[in-house]
Structure 1
Amino acid sequence: MTPGDHVLAYVRAQRDAILALDPAVRQETEDAVHDMRVATRRLRSTLRSFRKVLDRGVTDPIGVELKWLAGELGVGRDQEVLAERLTEGLDDLPHTLVSGPMGERLQTWAKAQHRGSRRRLLGVLDSGRYLTLLDTLDAFVADPPLRTAAEGKPAKVLAKAVRKDLGKVSDLVEQALGEPPGHERDEGLHEARKKAKRTRYAAETATPAIGGPAKALVKSMKSLQSLLGEHQDSVMARQALRELSAVAHAAGESAFTYGLLYGREERRAELVEKELPTAWDRIRGAAEV
């Protein structure tokens, strides 16, 4: 198989996953939205990682549409995950530390977010923009815009692309850790997480050609992604807690429990940041392609 064959096989699998998951998303099958979003991200990442194999003049516009779709799929999913995290945090508190109707307010907030995102998502799936994207993906797979590198040596071409992505992850992690705790570090670690996902997907694409080293990199990036994901979830939880506490305060309710959960989330982020340098050294040492 050529590099082009490997990349197109991965692209085709993600295109097929999006199509197969469409009915399940409409029917609200468990995890369908999440799985469709992952397939969309995998496909977009692959188009970006292997620009030496595929003509970016064709892939970049497709990438824009895939980013749009992933964003729409993420609206409801992100809110669902956030609501679950906040509810679990509240449930873990002794009842003596829960003041005001925070549980009821959380439930109302989560249900309102779900209803709004559900209507919006169904509108997206029925839109001309989404249907045009599906047609474009079909045409892309049927007549792929391959470049010269698509006929090169698979291991060499694919490994070079994976190493390039890994280098970007390394730079972002190092830059973020060099920032003091706060917004800039949070943003840097979030960007590193996104690039870790992209590197993971590139390594998945390259695994049939490279074998063990690519598999090891997939595992390493998944570990880093999980660690950085915990940090980002804490950032988003604290933002939601600030907003909810402001509403509660305006209604004359106690904001004590919101502040308590905020402090716990802040501590969870601090623990990740403390663990990250050692974890990154371990991951980087195992990530050789």
Structure 2
Amino acid sequence: MTVRQPPDLTYKHPKCYANSRGGCSTKISGEHYVSHALIKLYTFDDPSVVIKPTANYRIPVDIKPKNFVANVLCTRHNNDLSDADSTALDFATFLRDIAIRYKNGGGEWGPAETIEVSGDDFQRWVLKLIITHAAADVFTEGDGKRVTTIIPDESIDLLLDRAEWPRTWGLGVTGNLSNSHLKFDPFTRAEVVINEWWSAQPLIKHDPRTLLGGIVDLAGVSFTMCIFNQSEALLHDDKINPLLGVLQRPDSLTWILDGVPKTIQFRWNDRWQHRPITFTMHR
């Protein structure tokens, strides 16, 4: 009989960015820069597809999507975040299917549709994508040089659901259409379902350089992520402010065309206020 030893909950893998409180497995895994399932979705699961990473990823050759990874997370913590990846896939699939049928206004909008996804898991997915990029040092400055940043332990506790999100931290969506930094239209540009379906950029505090969050685009919609008190930044009306008019943790996102809504309903388990956001579209 083989006796299995319980996992060492104090072990900290030196290459795992989520090792702040231990609980690591002894094996490091390849964490995708953006969820593998999303890449497969947007490439129609074509086995011949290759990715051409930009120079900052330090991958000098064209690679298969399964290899677009950073070795920055242990197997156990990677597996713990699988629900976040599934939620992002559900979100993107819903919007992408509508966009393909709509054909930039040349197709059908169709009947009212609603999908419900976990807001908590989607918030974690946005944070995970940003932290993965920061842990692999692939974010760049204006001159193209890579930026090394400190990843706060608090962000890991939030990522692994060890702590409650503070009211003024977390996910946000534009509530002010004059904010040119944030996208809100998943349907009227073909590029959104071809080659501009995701991106990530950081928010960094200098001296010392510390990760404060970032902006992630998925399926034509921009999401802000703040791991700091953003309440003051939300009020600054400077056009260079990416947080201008952001609404935190929306109850739902709805796009209405000709009176017909398409809605993503977020399910939250926190105690904070959640307000619906509606975008009215025109042909």
Is the structural similarity TM-score above 0.5?
A: no
Which has the larger strand fraction? 2
Larger radius of gyration: 1
Q: TM-score, normalised by structure 1?
A: 0.28
With CA pairs under 8 Å and 6+ residues apart, which has the higher RCO, 1 or 2?
A: 1
Which has the larger helix fraction? 1
